[in-house]
Amino acid sequence: MSIERLQTVLLILGMLFLYFVIMPEQVDQIKSSSIVPTTIPSIAIWIIIVAAGIQFFLSKESIEFNPILCLRAAVCISFIIACVVIMKRFGFEFGSPLLALGIMLGIGERRLHWLFLGSAVIPIGAWLIVEQVLGRILL
Amino acid sequence: MVDLSVILAGFTDALTLTNLLYVIAGVIIGQFVGAMPGIGPVMTMAIAVPFTFVLDPLPAIGFLIGINKGGLVGGAIPSILINTPGTPDAAATAIDGYPLSKKGKPLKALKMALYSSVTGDTFSDIVLITTAAPLAILALKMGPVEVFALMVFAFSLISGLIGDSITRGIIATAFGLLVATVGLDPEHSTPRFLFGFYELYDGFPLAAIAIGTLAVAEIIRRLVSMNGEIRPAVHFPKNQPSEDKCISFKEYWSCKFVLLRGALIGTGIGAVPGMGSTAAAFMSYASTKQSSKNPEKFGTGELRGIAATESANSSVAGADMMPLLTLGLPGSASSAMLIGAFLIQGIQPGPLLFGTQGVLVYGLFASMLMANLCNFTIGLFGLRIWAKLITAPESLIFSAALVFCVVGVYLATGGVFGVYVMFAFAVIGLLMSVLNYSIVVFIIAFFLAPRFELSLGQSMALLRGDPLRLIDHPVALVLLCMSIFSIYWLNVRKKSRPNNNMEKNMKPKEA
């Protein structure tokens, strides 16, 4: 099965799961009105299922799947989330330079003046403006 | 009709120093980000929306409009100088701009792009200013059933026109509607899909969704696909004769019909939700080349080629506001960002806006004209600076953008939950772009969903649940029939793909 068809099947299964398992749990069932809380979610889910069904049979598109890029994206997202957790725990002024530095090093930046500007001046500048000048608390 | 005093009050509000400074700031930022390939005005608008929360509505919207208009001018700079479009709509500009630059006339090419861009943009703004109020009066005559049918029609057009596949467009639209149902149901006020997160009572925060899918997803996508390549340095030849670096009035005037055609195409396309400025630029270029006596000159550094593309892609910006202001329907990612800014300010765009916020609307029009003037002035003096900044490291730009995304969403949502939502939607945005689902369609559907649900509820009440009563609403019936027809027609058109090779066939020839 091609990736195109696999993603379509997963989409249909996900929508069926949402409709039959999650929606009854998460949305109140009201029957006294012409439009109920489940109306729009049901319409949207069934539109997706029908369109995905058509796509499954008729689509000729091919999706390029690059596992290395996916792995890099996963590492990148994990690093960013970890930095946000650090910001939350220790403060924006500690987490944001780390986030910027990691991103810059990840891209391949090695020039010290750019690294200093990107990982120290900009995050600390943002922190100073928001917390010290605007008086708002950051993370 | 709109009272003259309202128009004058709007223009007076816009001409304050504060507003002017925000418009100038927006244009400078817009030209800068437009000139940086990969950043673009839409991503910047998404990041800027939460920061506008602290501003009054007019400076806030004026600032965002400045970014959008500045981005249209800035996008042409890397297209012409390094053959890398700063924004997708500037791709066609490279066809003649880059060869002219290679001939040793980069400043001439840049100035033609600037003049054409400002001409096209001003033309479409004037069309918007003169037609928006009558269109809004017409729109006010529509009841909930007609509004619902109009939204269905807009969704069908957007699904069909944006992206490569109509089924993918429909799925992206339905997914946007589905995501927007999270939170309290507007009819019965019962919670939907909260999963125990009480922060979701008001639904997913607009800013977090917009920044996550449009900005963070794009940043991550570019981060992981980077190969450490350094952009070439840009040098302007010294001691050039003035005819090689300036555009004379005679040269500009010789392109008058090309500029007018481009502006008309751009305005027409911009008024249709979902068409976009890239299509306008390529259509204008193709029609100019077709009608030229010397079509072989196109692609070798022809000034009319630059004039055709830039006047068309920039004139989309003004016309794009027509469906937004008169019907409350955003037709592109940038107008979706503007609708987000309106909503953050507690203003619902639509025909009622002319009655309830007439001063704001005319202030907005004045800000648009001011932005054009600023675009011209700043562009004229800033071209050389932006050309130098193209070579600034992407590492700095992307790391700073990511930090500003976190700050912006935190400030807009008032907590770290919004930041996590932003990253969750960045992952969804990444998946959507990998699987070829349009993020722009998703965002537009998400923004329109609450109004869609409300008008569906009102329509059902008016029709008393009987679809046959639609016969009493002929306009709605026609719109619904047009929706079905447009889905069918756009599907057939996509399958035959007559224009699909147009962009591929238009590669710039080396000078």
pLDDT in tens, B22-38: 999 999 999 988 887 76
pTM of the model: 0.82
CA B415 from chain center: how many Å? 29
The predicted model gives B454-483 an average pLDDT of: 89
Neighbours of B466 (CB within 10 A): 8
Closest CA–CA distance from residue A31 to any residue of chain B (Å): 11
pLDDT at A97: 94
Of A52, A72, A103, the CB nearest to B399: A103
CA angle B360, B362, B368 (to 5 degrees): 105
CB contact under 8 A, A51 and B171: yes
CA A61 from chain center: how many Å? 24
B23: Cβ contacts below 8 Å, ≥ 6 apart: B62, B63, B65, B66, B367, B370, B371, B374
Nearest CA in chain A to B435: A63
- Which of A61-70, B9-18, B255-264 is least confident? A61-70
> Does position B311 have pLDDT exceeding 80, yes or no?
yes
CB contact under 8 A, B457 and A28: no
Alpha-carbon distance of B207 to B412, in angstroms, equals 7
Q: Is the dihedral of CA A100, A105, A110, A112 positive or negative?
A: positive
pLDDT in tens, B206-247: 888 988 998 899 889 888 877 655 555 566 777 778 788 888
Pinpoint the alpha helices (H) of B390-467. 394-413, 416-434, 439-463
Nearest CA in chain A to B464: A34
pLDDT in tens, A12-55: 999 999 999 999 999 988 877 778 899 999 999 999 999 999 99
pLDDT in tens, A111-126: 888 899 999 999 999 8
Q: How confident is the model at residue B508 (pLDDT cuts 50, 70, 90)?
A: very low
Of A11, A47, A109, the CB nearest to B170: A47
Alpha-carbon distance of B86 to B302, in angstroms, equals 20
pLDDT in tens, B378-420: 998 888 788 777 767 778 888 888 998 898 888 888 888 999 9
Of B54, B220, B419, the CB nearest to A77: B220
What average pLDDT is seen over chain B? 86
Size (chain B), residues: 511
pLDDT at B293: 86
- Tokens 């953050």 sit at which residue? B344
Pinpoint the alpha helices (H) of B256-302. 256-270, 277-291
Of A40, A47, A73, the CB nearest to B224: A73
CB contact under 8 A, A7 and B393: no
Nearest CA in chain A to B461: A34
CB contact under 8 A, B187 and A136: no
3-state secondary structure of B243: helix
pLDDT in tens, B138-185: 888 888 899 899 889 988 988 887 777 889 999 999 999 999 999 998
Q: Is residue B494 within 8 Å of residue B164, measured between CB atoms?
A: yes
Q: What is the dihedral of CA B32, B37, B41, B47, to 10 degrees?
A: -90
DSSP letters, B139-152, are HHT--HHHHHHHHH
CB contact under 8 A, B402 and A106: no
What is the identity of the amino acid at B162?
Answer: I
